[in-house]
Amino acid sequence: MLSRLTRWAVAAPAALILVLGAAACGSPESTSAAPGSGSPAAQAKTLTVFAAASLTGTFTDLGKTFEAAHPGTSVKFNFGSSATLAQQITQGAPADVFAAASPATMKTVTDASLAAAPTTFVRNKLQIAVPPDNPAKVDELKDLADPKVKVALCAAQVPCGAAAVKALDAAGLKVTPVTYEQDVKATLTKVELGEVDAALVYKTDVLAAAGKVTGIVFPEADKAINDYPIAALSKASAPDLAKQFVDLVLSQQGKDVLTKAGFEGP
């Protein structure tokens, strides 16, 4: 009998240690995730927004606001020419929201049944951007028709280029640029680098480049104002988030950010 008790006394603490050890090892896992819930990494979501290049600053700010209000959500942007972005979307590029710099480029997407009922959220108009020292002494739109003035324009198929064509036609002017660029940011960069004497770009881009360029207002810009539509895309991987981002852009908070940057109300 003594030998049996001795053996039990030795074995019992060892068994207890194994049970307690197993419970200790299992406790962090059991408390870290409730049944049916995923890990933080699994719950993280990405919202992909395709937006016109002229929206780079404002949408980047709104993206940070959106992320702060939606913990675990990352907003990724693809900024560029609206025409190029529309083409990418119709060719199957994954995107949740599209914000274009013209109704014509949005129509490419809606005609493909990839978005419904876009909403115009801002308007934008052109200015003449020149270097701070304005070496060519440009004062008004007709100065761009001087062959001695090196001018940069957006390509005609992109919204800022189409607006430039309208403005020049309204003034009855023919301008031969030294370069056509694929979006407004690239066009403005030519002025910032001193590679051209002037460019037709959006007022908002002139304001964003304060100190690097000077903007010149001209009356014909009123005949070439661009409306900016936004829409959640029908094939969005995160449809609820897409709608919420559009709602943020259309909200008073979104309007305040956009107006501060120089955009006008629709």
Each of the 266 residues of the chain gets a pLDDT tens digit; together they read 334 333 433 444 444 333 334 333 343 333 333 333 333 333 559 999 999 999 999 999 999 999 999 999 999 999 999 999 999 999 999 999 999 999 999 999 999 999 989 999 999 999 999 999 999 999 999 999 999 999 999 999 999 999 999 999 999 999 999 999 999 999 999 999 999 999 999 999 999 999 999 999 999 999 999 999 999 999 999 999 999 999 999 999 999 999 999 999 99
β partners of residue 97? 49, 232
Between CA 96 and CA 52 the distance in angstroms is 14
Helix (H) or strand (E) holding 30: helix 2-32
Say which CATH architecture domain 126-223 belongs to. Answer: 3-Layer(aba) Sandwich (3.40)
Q: For position 44, what pLDDT does the model report? A: 59
Cα–Cα separations (whole angstroms), residue 47 to 1, 158, 237, 262: 72, 25, 8, 26
Q: Is the pTM of this model over 0.85?
A: no
Average pLDDT of the chain is 87
**Which CATH number among 3.40.190.10, 3.40.50.1100, 3.40.640.10, 3.20.20.70 corresponds to the domain 43-123+227-260?**
3.40.190.10
Backbone angles phi, psi at 153, to 5 degrees: -130, 155
Helix (H) or strand (E) holding 154: strand 151-154
Between CA 125 and CA 131 the distance in angstroms is 19
Q: For position 26, what pLDDT does the model report? A: 40
**Where in the chain is CATH 3.40.190.10?**
43-123+227-260, 126-223
Q: Are 96 and 184 in contact (CB under 8 A)?
A: no
Over the stretch 49-77, which tens digit does the pLDDT of each residue have? 999 999 999 999 999 999 999 999 999 99
